[in-house]
Every structure is written in C-alpha cells, then in structure tokens.
Amino acid sequence: MRLRRSDPGRPGYGRRRRGQGWSYLDPGGVPVRNPDELARLRALVIPPAWRQVWISPYPNGHIQATGIDAAGRKQYLYHPVWRQRQDEAKFDHVLGVARRLPVLRERVGQDLAGRGLRRERVLATVTRLLDMGAFRVGSDQYAAGDDPTFGVATLRPEHARSRQGCVVFEFPAKGGIEQVRLVSDPELCRVLTNLRRRRRSADRLFGYWDGQDWRDVRADEVNDYLREASGGEMTAKDFRTWHATVRAATELAVVGPARSVTARRRAVAGVMREVAELLGNTPTVARTSYVDPRVVDLFHDGVLAPVGPDTPREQAELAVLSLLERA
C-alpha cells in the first residue's frame, strides 16, 4: 500500500460522545454517515479517555489518529503498514547496534576504570546498567508526575541500597510496575556505593562532578554518550530491544524444535512471558515491541540459534546476530 504523509495540524475528522458510543464528524463538522467510512473510524479503536481527538481524513494516512490521554500526553495511532515498516527498520538498526557493542563495552570498561565521579565514569556506569537489559533510561516527565515512575537516569538515592557487597534497586517503573534489580558487578558497585554516599541529599542518584559543581545526568546526555562511545547511531532503548531478542532466541533454542503448531505457539507464549519479566512489560508488549519477529518466524520454521542456558553472553549474542543476518 502507498501511504501518504499525515498532517495533524490540518483539518481532520473529530468525534463526540453519543450515548454509550461516539458519533464522528467530518472536517466541516458534518456527521459521518457513509457506512464504509464509519467502519474505518470505529476500527481504529481510539481509547475512550482520549480528548481533542484528530482523525486522518485519508485511509492511507501514515498517522491515523491523535489525541490527549488522561495524563495530558499527546498520543498517536499509526497505520499498520507504517508500523510494520518502522518495526522492520528498527530491528535492522538494532542489528547494527549489536555489531558495535564490543567497541562500546571496551570504552565503558575504560571509563569505569577511572577515578572519582567525573562525567565519563558516571555515564559509563549508567550505560553498563542499561546493558544489563532491564533498565529504561527514564524520563523527566514521568518522574515528575502525580504517580512518578523511573528509569536509570531519574532514579533517586532512596531507590538504591547496599546488601552484602551488592546494590539493590527498588523503584516503580513505567506502567507502575515495581522493579527489583540486583547489581553484583564489582566495578559498578564501587561507583554506586560512592554515588549513594555523595548524592544522598540530592534529587537524583546519578550525577557527576564537573570540577565546579554537581550536575544531574540527563537522558539525552546518556544517548549522546552511547553514540559517541559506540561510533554510530544508538539510543538507550536499543539495549532493551537487543537483549529481549537474544533472550527470546536463547529460550526458544532451549525449548528445541516442536512438532505441532500448537506446541510451537505454546512455547513462544511461554518464552514471551520470560522476556516480559526481564523487561518489566507485558508479554504482548515484549513480543510486539522488543523481540525481533524473525526470531519467532525462524523458530516456526525449525531454525534455532546454536545457544543454550549456559552460553556466555557475548557468544550467545554473536550466534543470534549471525542467525538474524542470514534470515
């Protein structure tokens, strides 16, 4: 299908409450009567809580609808074809990120070996936490809400505590899901313990000394570090996408070939539950937003990565990368 670029700033369809449902108005404010057009508008399943709803007048618009959610955030509904193309580009991009991870990890190791709490060492600490695959980077907007949620860059000092030489993080993540993460990496624990001591009265746990003052770590600063240290385009979310994909491929390899369609579907559902637990998401979100769909397609075709539960991380990553590059 050939899509056209949507412009939510131009006139579009709207909606208004009518009994238990909705009526839809064309750009001129006239109620929509055409059955086919009404079917398209209803099939969008725009959340009832959205207000200031704008709907594309074109069935092939790349943005089909926008609205303001209950939290005051602008949300978008995209055309399924647009989402598919964006997802394909996203997963191809993540494979490029995976190829550069050895370079990034070497740089992180060098920066972690530094002294004090200077910018590069603290950003390297944040990066290694992200590379564990479980943390989001965080958003100032979500951290400042009525029901605040946190990522690594917005964590507060009280979200971290020491336990038997390790550091435990407990915090509400996106969606209000309570997360508990244990960090036992000795290099990380040294920096984290120092941060907890020096930043205990600060609003944010992660900050660095610039020679004159303390500066809070910002999410965009983390992404800048990732691009500079890896030598290419990269964001914090790429870690979660890649680790979810590797975890799914590994768990499916452990399950092994399944003879029936039902058994394969059951295996995929079980693996997505495990990936969701790693990410702090639902299984549906894990499958649709994080796990490269080629992993599942290959499993249904009987093609598995040569990995197991005890395969070292870097070896497993190389095996999954090779599998997907051949797909």
Instruction: Give 175-187 pLDDT, tens digit per residue.
Output: 888 899 999 999 9
Coil, strand, or helix at residue 133? coil
Asked whether residue 216 carries a pLDDT value surpassing 90, the answer given is yes
Asked whether residue 159 carries a pLDDT value surpassing 70, the answer given is yes
Asked whether residue 65 carries a pLDDT value surpassing 80, the answer given is yes
CA–CA separation, 240 and 202 (whole Å): 28
Q: What pLDDT sits at residue 300?
A: 95
Q: What's the pLDDT band for 133 if we cut at 50, 70, 90?
A: low
For the chain, give the percent of residues with pLDDT over 70. Answer: 100
**Mean pLDDT, the chain, whole residue set:** 94
Residues ≥6 apart with Cβ < 8 Å to 147: 172, 176
Q: What pLDDT sits at residue 305?
A: 96
Cβ proximity of 193 and 167 under 8 Å: yes
Q: What pLDDT sits at residue 294?
A: 96
Among 98, 91, 219, smallest CA distance to 155 is for: 219
Give all domains of the chain, ordered by start, each with its CATH number.
14-78 (3.30.66.10), 108-234 (3.90.15.10), 237-326 (1.10.132.120)
Mean pLDDT of the region 1-8: 92
Cβ proximity of 95 and 52 under 8 Å: no
Span 255-272, pLDDT tens digits: 999 889 999 999 999 999
Mean pLDDT of the region 284-294: 95
Span 196-205, pLDDT tens digits: 999 988 999 9
Q: What pLDDT sits at residue 177?
A: 85
Residue carrying the six token digits 């670029």? 5
